[in-house]
Structures are given as structure tokens and as C-alpha cells.
Chains A and B, each alone.
Chain A
């Protein structure tokens, strides 16, 4: 962009406006005062400078939009059209200066006609947004209205009289007809452009071009009328309109700002704003068409009044069809809307969960479905205008206001919250409330959808399940203690020496009892954590102390497996439940030792990681396949199903570790390259780092 800007020596639009205005003033003063002799001969000459300025401006514009090939070809065609006009004006000036009565048609007329063709071709190159089929039909009808309405004038003043044939030869007749037809074609092209959504980069230029085209069409009509009646002479005041038209074209080109490649402004499709509001154009055309008929009719109905009447009838028919189409579209839209509303109602009313719409200002309920109404023992009508606080438990009082404020500020978009509510029979029940923001077209939060789900029974079922697990667990533990104790006594030899075989068998019994005990303990542990009954005893704890405790717990196992333990724990302090983190470390270290071949080592490291401490346990074992890096943290999920038997794990260790870490607000994950060992990482918060305040907590 800077390269383009520095190269652009084009005068700023105000300077160009001043120059053009000065030229127009000079021209008008000449029109008024005739300070040069030979008005008829020189009239056409005055058009040449303004044509040249417009040509120059258009050419510069085409250089400035190099980034958009389509816009560049638009400006090049536009420049060619202006060049054709320039050539035609030079030709006409030559004719005016050399002949007393200018011949018709001449080469200049060929240039004039190619101006129409080139300008129309240029208009076709303007990038416009794609439109739907029904919209395209309406565009066509609107375009037809404009062409017919505007055409009525051209027909009445120029075309009609010409068709009767005042010219002697056919070529002259054809050429004189070609001018008004060219104007009509231009008018149609322009109307189609103005009624559609065009590339925003061209908006200013298009308006100037429209002004120029309208000025030149009016000038053409008057000129055609003058020629027809033999009253036109070169340098007539009507030529001022041509000067103005090309001044507009120059300004159009000057308003084109530079465009880089890929600039979204060059594409109509990427522009979200509505089309330029030119929808009044068809009505103006319609009014002028009727106006003309009335004007003509109020004098005497003279030639070619009947053709005018035909135009007006056609106009009326087009407008009627257009209105019918618009009406049909409206009906379609209404039907679709009603259908959508019916579908929404069916979902809303038949949902198994309670749904409410709440306005943010009250916050008051705008609408509630029957499920919700039944939950709180009201009718949907009774609920309108009420707020949540009127049926929520005491701990929720006022929270809806806080929530509404937070949503309005844009702090939250969605939130799930448990709350107690007074149910239809007057008892307190438990529900989850999920609120989501509904925004208007401008993205401003307006309403809130609340989804209520009664979870009292589910929670009760969960509680019963938890109690059952807990009960079974404890009932299993007591006999296991006795079995383990008895076996231990036998094994100790305190009750009499055992034979080698007996000792082996007792050893098998002890190993399996230990495994069963671990399974029961881990199940109870996990159940306690997942039911949310785990209460962490958070305290600032030294990382080195945690590491030392964990290492000493697994040292005997590691020694037996001939695995070396290494540790690098710096002087950091974390805010944790020490027993639980040691338990996690022991789980990870125990796993690492289990899966390490003899002679290898297991490394425990800890380091600070953005407000947390990250513990990492690395082994040199067989590693973890990539597709199991996540699933190893699920219950009873071991990399190899035979591990449970061989390695004697409960299959719950990593699930418990994850639960512990997540209760601390941390994260646990595994990284591994199969065959080259695995590293398990987890994070826990540093002692001084503040916990992020949860809104749900604040609301509680």
C-alpha cells in the first residue's frame, strides 16, 4: 500500500473539484457572455478539455485498483468509453470548423455510438452480489419500470418522431435512432447496478457515474429533440449538461481509492451492509411516466399519444406483477415463519426439561413452557413477569440479578448452576439450571434462555449407589483383614514351621489377598472422590518433602525390581493436600517402576510452570501407544489387559490420580514414544498463586 500511495501523484479530489468547478465557470461565462467569436464553431471545442481530464482520471483509477482485476477492467473500459467520447468531440469540432452545415452521419457518430457500448460494457464489469431468484425477478421488473418510465420521455420527444422518418436516408435514420436507444440501454444498466448490492469500493464512484449518465441522457434527449426540429446549434446552453456529465465522470474516477490484492472491499459478496437505497427509482420512473401522460393528455391528445398510453399500461402491468411477486414472497416468508414457530413451540412445550425465556432488565420471565410451570406448580401465564427468586431456594435469592448483570456486561455467555427450588407440592427439590444468552442482530445480549432439569431423583439414585459401594466396600474389608492377618501369622511361622510347599501356597494367598484389598481400597477411594465427598486438606507443602515421602514409599519395590530412583525436586511450595499428592506420586512412581526393565531408572522431576508446579515421572519402559495416552486414566483401563494379572495393579491407580489432581484444579496427562519409555505429568497450584474466582462459587 505505501508503494502505491507514494506513486500516486493524482491531485486530491478537492483540488480536482476546484479545477473542474473553475472550468465549468469559465464555460458558463462563455455561454453567457460569448467572449469568443464563433459560438457555433467553438461550442464543441469546449467539451474536449473536460473529456481529456475525465480520461486521465479514469486511466489513473485503473492503475490504482491493480489489486482487483475486475475493477481494473471496469476502469479501463470506462477510460476507453471516455476516450471514444473525446475522439467523437474532436471529430465534431473538426466538422463544425470546416463545414457550414455539418454532414450527418460522420465518423464522429461511430465514436459516439461506441461510447454507449463501451460504457455499458464497463457497467457489466462492476462486481455485484449474487441475488436469489425471486429477488432477481423483482430487479428485472424494477429495471423495466425505470427503462419504460424514462423511455417514455425519449420515445415521446425523440424516438417516436424519428421513426416516422424525417431523415432522407436510411443510415441517417438508423444512426439518429441509435442515440436514444443507447441512452436507454445505459439507463437500464445503471438502474440494475443501483438496485443491486455492488462492491463497496465503487459506491462513491458509481453515484458520480450515475449523475453523469443521467446528465448526458437528458442532454441527449434535448439534443435529439433539437436536431429533429432543426433548432439545435453547436454551443447551445444544453451543452453545459455534457460538460457537467464529464466533470462527474472525472470525479467518479478521482473518488476511487487504491485497492490492494484481496481487499474485501473489492467484492460485493463480503459486504454485509444493505444495498444502496435506490428502491425509490422505480417509483420515480412510474410517477414520471404517468406525469408525462397526464401532461400530454391535458393539452391535446396528439401524436404519438397512443404509444405513450401503451407505455403507461405496460408500466402499470409491470408494477402490478412486481407487487404480486412481493406479496407472494411475503406470504412464503410468513408461512415459513409460522412453520418455524410451530416447530419451536412443539419443542418448547413438549420438552422433558423446564425452559424459560427471561428478559435481562427485570430480570423477569417472558415465557415458560408447561414442564417448567408444572415443576413449580403454576401456569405459564402466572409465571410471566415473575423472577427466579420467587421459587428458588433461599441461597439463590438475588443471584438472578447478579447473573443478569454479568450477562449484560458480556462476562458470561453460558453457565450451569445447581439450585434448589420450591416444587409444586411445596417441597424443596434440586435442579440444574443452564442459562444461555440470546443476542439480538447487533450482538447485544437481550434475553436469557434457562433450562431447568430436576435432578432430585438422579441425585438420590447416585447417593444410594454411593452408599451401596461404600457399604459393600467396608463389608469386604473386615473379612479381608482377618484373612490377611491369619495368612500373615501362618507365614511368620509363629504357629509352627511350614513346609516349603505350604509356604509357597500361603505366599500365593497373601499376594492375592493384598491385591483384593487394594482393589477394595481403591474402589472406595475413587467412589469417595467421584461422589464429591473427598475433602482436600489444603496446606502449603514443600515439593521436596512430597517427593521424599513418595520416593521412600516406593523404594523397597524399586530395589526389589532393580530399578534406580532419581529425583530432582527444587525448593518450591505448593498448596495441596499432602497425603493425596503423595498418593498420586506413589501411584505414578509405582507404575513407572512396574513397567521398567531391571537395571533402568525412573526419574521424578518438578518445576514451576506458569503459576503451577508440574511434576513429571519418567520411565524407560515399553511406553504407551498414542491411542491410549488418554484412556489410561479411565477406570480399569490398562495398556495390556494381562497387566492386571502380571503387575498386580487394581487398574484404578491412574483414575484415582486424575481425580486427585483435578480436585486440586490441576491437569494430568501422559506423553510417550512407544519403545522409548513414558512420562506422566501433572500440575498443582503454587502456594501463592490465587485460584481463579469461579462465578458459580460467587453465586453460591
Chain B
């Protein structure tokens, strides 16, 4: 039984590559959305998901705004969210982390390593959760 992942990114190519990678190299079933608004719909209608991969910089609703809306009802609180961000500075990463996500993955990412990277973030978040 594969896990379900919601992938939100405005770049079609990135979505295609990420979906292919996660499905072929990982054990994920991927639903994808091209914007924050679409992602909210999918989260409402096609849930539940085991994880959400959310791009930070998007036109319209950006990553943090989408996260806020999702947390307001579209998504169960327990669902881990991972930000995809092109900003690699530590301060920026810490700011995003403070919004209550499982972790951040830097863009551009190496698609081949993406499934392992997601597992690593989820495991770390899980570990932290258990410790708390």
C-alpha cells in the first residue's frame, strides 16, 4: 500500500519530474496541484494525504498562505507539510520552520535523491514529535 502525497508547485516540469521520481523511485502515489487554490480543493476532496510537498514561491496563494488555509480546515493537523524553497539562507529556513512544518527541502533538488530526502525529513519530524 503506497503512501499518498500532495505535490503543490506552479512549474509544470518540476511537477512532472517530481511525480515521476516519487512514483518510480519511491513508494508514493502523487496528486499534484499547480497552485495554492487548486491544492486546497484537492486537499478537501481527495484527502487524506500522508504528506504535502509545498512550493514556497507561487503566484496567487504562496506556500505559507496555502499552509495557513489548509491548517484552517482542509487538512488534518497531523498531516506533515514539507516546504520546497529556493532560498537557502539559514534565517529564511528557520523562519519557514517556525510556521509549523515538518521541514524544508532546498530547490533545486536532485530528483533521484528526493524520495530519500522526504523520508529523512519525515523521520526527523516524527522523532521530534515522539520526543515531545
Interface residues of A (CB under 8 A from B): 474, 477-482, 484-486, 488-489, 491-492, 494-495, 517, 537, 578-579
Chain A residues with CB under 8 Å of B89's CB are 537, 579
Given A478-B11, A482-B11, A482-B17, are A488 and B108 also a contact pair (CB < 8 Å)? no
B48 on the A face (CB < 8 A): no
Chain B binding site: helix, strand, loop or mixed by DSSP? helix
**Distance to closest chain B CB from A422 (angstroms):** 36
B13 on the A face (CB < 8 A): yes
A495 near B108 with CB under 8 A, answer no
B61 on the A face (CB < 8 A): no
C-beta contact mask, B73-91 vs A, less than 8 Å → 1, else 0? Answer: 0000000000000100111
Chain B residues with CB under 8 Å of A480's CB are 108
Closest 8 CB pairs of A and B: A481-B108, A482-B13, A485-B17, A494-B24, A485-B111, A488-B112, A492-B112, A488-B111
B11's nearest neighbour on chain A, judged by CB, is A478
B110 on the A face (CB < 8 A): yes
B91 near A537 with CB under 8 A, answer yes
B96 on the A face (CB < 8 A): no
Instruction: Give CA–CA (A604, B107) in the complex, Å.
Output: 30
Chain B residues with CB under 8 Å of A492's CB are 21, 25, 112
Chain B residues with CB under 8 Å of A481's CB are 14, 107-109
A579 near B90 with CB under 8 A, answer yes
B14 near A482 with CB under 8 A, answer yes
B20 on the A face (CB < 8 A): yes
Listed by A's residue number, 20 A-B pairs whose Cβ atoms lie within 8 Å are A478-B14, A479-B13, A481-B14, A481-B108, A481-B109, A482-B11, A482-B13, A482-B14, A484-B108, A485-B14, A485-B18, A486-B17, A488-B111, A489-B20, A489-B111, A492-B21, A492-B112, A495-B24, A517-B108, A579-B90
A480's nearest neighbour on chain B, judged by CB, is B108
B90 near A485 with CB under 8 A, answer no
Contact of A489 among B11, B108, B112 (CB under 8 A): B112
Chain A residues with CB under 8 Å of B91's CB are 537
Within 8 A of A (CB), among B3-36: 11, 13-14, 17-18, 20-21, 24-25
**Distance to closest chain A CB from B112 (angstroms):** 5
A491 near B112 with CB under 8 A, answer yes
A477 near B86 with CB under 8 A, answer yes
B11 near A495 with CB under 8 A, answer no
A478's nearest neighbour on chain B, judged by CB, is B11
**Distance to closest chain B CB from A9 (angstroms):** 83
A484's nearest neighbour on chain B, judged by CB, is B108
Instruction: Give CA–CA (A285, B58) in the complex, Å.
Output: 101
Chain B residues with CB under 8 Å of A517's CB are 108
Chain A residues with CB under 8 Å of B109's CB are 481, 485
**Distance to closest chain B CB from A494 (angstroms):** 4
**Distance to closest chain B CB from A384 (angstroms):** 50
Instruction: Give CA–CA (A477, B107) in the complex, Å.
Output: 10
Q: A492-B112, A579-B90 are in contact. List 9 more A-B contacts (CB 8 A).
A: A482-B17, A485-B109, A488-B110, A488-B111, A488-B112, A489-B21, A489-B112, A494-B21, A537-B89
A579's nearest neighbour on chain B, judged by CB, is B90
Chain A residues with CB under 8 Å of B18's CB are 485
Instruction: Give CA–CA (A233, B69) in the complex, Å.
Output: 133
A492's nearest neighbour on chain B, judged by CB, is B112
Chain A residues with CB under 8 Å of B14's CB are 478, 481-482, 485
Most chain B beta carbons < 10 A, residue from A477, A482, A537: A482
**Distance to closest chain A CB from B52 (angstroms):** 20
Chain A residues with CB under 8 Å of B86's CB are 474, 477
**Distance to closest chain B CB from A516 (angstroms):** 12
Instruction: Give CA–CA (A486, B111) in the complex, Å.
Output: 8
A494 near B25 with CB under 8 A, answer yes
